[in-house]
Every structure is written in C-alpha cells, then in structure tokens.
Amino acid sequence: MRHPFELPANRRLAWRWVALALILLLAACARTPPRNPIATWVPSPNHDIRRPVLIVLHFTNQHSAQESLDTLRTRNSGGPVSSHYLVGSDGHIYQLVSDQLRAWHAGPGRWGTITDVNSASIGIELDNDGSTPFAPPQVASLLRLLGDLTERLHIPRTQIVGHEDFAPGRKDDPGPLFPWKQLADAGFGLWPQAPLLDPPAGFDPWMALGLVGYPLEDRAATVRAFHHHFRGMQGDTLDAEDLRILYGLAQQIESAGNTPTAG
C-alpha cells in the first residue's frame, strides 16, 4: 500500500526530470563567464583562456601536507595564499586551483619581462620545511607533473624557476637543497651545459644575470638566489665559476632565443 504522503509513480518521475533539469541549468550557469549587465551580449568566438608561460616552484616551510592544504585554502596571518598544485613528501599530487585561473602564490617580483608573475605562471608547492632534502617520491611526482604541464599547456621546458629566483631577498624557496640538476637531467629548467668555458674579456656577468631573468635591484640578494639555484651553496659575491656558468647560460639563451617574456 502506498504511504499517504508518497507521490504517485508518474509524479515522482516528473519531479525527477524537473530536478535533473535544474541541476543541468545550474551547471550551465556555473560555466558561463560573467557578463556586464549594462551591455548587450553579442558573443564572439575570438577569445582564449589564460595561458601561463612559467612554472614557479616553492617549498611550504610547514610540517605536513595537511597543514599546507589548510593554509592554501584559508585566510592565514599573512593574508590568503594559494597555489595550483601541492606535491606531498610521499609523492601525492593535489590540485587546488584550475590551471586556467590565477593562483596567489608569487607576490611581488619580476622574471625577465614578466612583472605580474601570478598572471603568467603555474605555482607548485612542495611539502618541505626548507632544511631537509626533498624526498625521492616527491621529486619523481614533480617530474611527472612538470612533464604534464609543459606538454599540455605548451610551457617551454626551460621556463621553470624558484620563488627566490624572481623575488631575491624577499623569498628563499625552494632553497639550496632543491635538486635543480636532477630536473635538468630530466630536461626541465635552464642549466649550463658542459664543458664550461672561461668568458671572453669584457664579459658582463650582470648583463648575463639579467638575460637569464634575474632582477638586479639588490645584486647581493640576486647572487644568493643564483648560488642556491645553480650551485647549491650560500654566498653573495660572484667568483670565477659563476662567470663560467653565466657565460654558458647566456650563450644557450642567445642561441635558443629563450629570454623569459610574458608571451
């Protein structure tokens, strides 16, 4: 016997169709970009989505992936921050922001001609406290993620930098322990090719640093960032090995035309 408050089968079916139609309508509205109510909507097919041209690597400087997920999804003491991805020390990859959207991971800084790094980049946080080596499963997952992003989003494989590279003096991640050479061996990032040669007379290392992409407002901080990235060491003065590295990098960039730009 049908319960007194139970709808007949035909009415239940009708309500299911109504509910399904509402769900589809709401889904369509969610995908519709906002329109200006004071203008007449005359759509054009001549547009595109945001296309990042740079990948920025960070360390979280926290104690667990869960702590970092909480920080990246809430308002914290320094204001709201986010990233597109977080890679746990166990290698698990989390996505927090769509590739098409602008995550808040970079802050002020400049890399080459890119002055709004958030708008031009994908941000990847690595679960690491900044003082311990990066775990092999984490690095393996990062390489897999970099392969996916560079291929799918057509980001040049050389356009992978650390937060400190474009914000020297303000940031120090991913730090001197990050395995940039391992990334280079897998084909990611800019790295000097052997053999390193002595630069010719008149070689300007500061011009070479600027060509790579580094800002030069605070030269000591820039050298520290360069040392962390390319030599895994501290120090804020250039030596002969630095000049050989910079000469090699400058030659690679000039021959390939890979000066970092906003697109």
Main-chain phi, psi angles of 161, to 5 degrees: -135, 170
- Residue pair 139/95 in contact (Cβ under 8 Å)? The answer is no
Residue 123 to residues 15, 101, 198: CA-CA distances in angstroms? Answer: 44, 11, 35
Which amino acid type is present at position 71?
Answer: T
Residue 157 to residues 68, 78, 217: CA-CA distances in angstroms? Answer: 27, 32, 27
Is residue 125 annotated as part of the catalytic site, yes or no? yes
HSE at residue 42, side-chain half, CA atoms within 13 A, is 2
> 9: which DSSP letter?
H
Which among 6, 125, 164, 217 is annotated as catalytic? 125
Catalytic residue list:
125
